[in-house]
Amino acid sequence: MASSLCLNTCALPRAAKQSLSSLIQLHKFPSFLPHKYCISRASASVSVSLSDKKELRSPDLVALEYADLNLTDKISQELGHVRIRQHVNPLSSSFSVPAPVPDWSEVFKDPTLPLMVDIGSGSGRFLLWLAKQNPDSKNYLGLEIREKLVKRAEFWVKELALSNIHFIFANAAVSFRQLVSAYPGPLMLVSILCPDPHFKKRHQKRRVVQKPLVDSILTSLMPEGKVFIQSDVLEVAEDMRKQLDAESDVLHHIDMVDPSMLCDDEGWLLNNPMGIRTEREIHAEFEGAKIYRRLYQKKRVCNELSG
């Protein structure tokens, strides 16, 4: 029988999952597990069974991190196999048309709840996990420029029967303002997590965090609303940080208002404040990369941006 990573995901206790994940990530645990590793807490237990020296891969850790969702591997016949094209040119004419604004009362059970928008939502697992944790108190909107990922994420939304999350195929640079301005409730949080780096100098104008989008976010954000950015590429993280630090008349960094949010000597957050890592974050940390994070909060009283 082929070796395999066996997880009882339906009964996996959250504390045990986090304990095992913390042991494995960042190479604090060996890259292989001999025989069986068990964690027990009260009456709940979880075991990971592997044959001798079966190396763990980062997809195994993604499955572990998102075990609470218990997503099936099946996808619709129409969607077919989903291949992720890593880099998309958002300046292409094919992405220049704004996404239509949905009827929010059809999209969400309660469209007046505070809204989180994840720009570049990827597979959607990160946002789905958050939505499942807060079914009655918050709404979640994922904007993604890769249409097949949006279709699969919406398939999972139906599978999980969630009424507080929606995904839209959209270029955020073109569609963010009109989508969010039409939403009936307050915008509480915008996240931009590990966006496409577009390394080449001539391609850096394709990066998602540009001045017009920053202005749209800050105009739409409620007082004390937050902007969370992160990347495993220092150059990209510094670029996003520079643009948001420049808005000091509108934004505080979170450590200025919440001393419990600890930073390193260079001002990067030491811990992920969301309670769940993104898939890219898991892959990057597995490879030994550092994640550069910043969390900003909009001032209660500030000079409103024009337009």
Catalytic (active-site) positions: 196
**∠202-206-208 over CA atoms, to 5°?**
145
3-state helix, strand, coil in the chain (%, to 5): 35, 20, 45
State how far the Cα of 54 lies from the Cα of 1, in Å rounded to an integer: 13
Collapsed DSSP state (helix, strand, coil) of residue 170: coil
Query: Where do the H-state alpha helices sit in 147-302?
Result: 147-160, 172-181, 211-220, 234-245, 279-286
> Phi and psi (nearest 5°) for 150?
-65, -45
Helix (H, G, I), strand (E, B) or coil at 40: strand
